Amino acid sequence: MPKIPGVNHLDAVRALEKAGFRIIRQGKHIVMSDGVRLLTIPRHNPVNALTMGGIVRDAGLSVEETAAAMDVSPRTVKRDWSFARAWLFRRLSD
């Protein structure tokens, strides 16, 4: 089974900053907030796609907002998320 792709934690932080989040605290994890929500990004590379999907969901970002923040197309966001969900489903059904 292929490995699930991941995202560099610094790229994730930059994308969330573009979406209006600011760094509150740094340590083993980076804590970010937009004044309403708190997000925790692990400081390891890569942050796997499933974890990143959860962070994006917790941030309340739409597919279009996520794509704009990460400088990719909405189609790429949808494809990567579909791949991650399929990968997880296969792992859980083994």
Quickly list DSSP for 18-36.
HTT-EEEEESSEEEEE-SS
Q: Give residue-wise pLDDT tens across range 27-41.
A: 999 999 999 999 999
Strand-pair partners of 39: 32
DSSP labels, 44-86: SSSEEHHHHHHHHHHHT--HHHHHHHHTS-HHHHHHHHHHHHH
Better-predicted residue by pLDDT, 4 or 84: 84
Closest-CA residue to 78 (of 56, 60, 59, 45): 56
The predicted model gives 19-48 an average pLDDT of 93
pTM of the entire predicted model: 0.77
Q: Give residue-wise pLDDT tens across range 2-11.
A: 566 778 899 8
SS3 40: strand
- pLDDT > 70 fraction of the chain, expressed in percent and rounded: 95
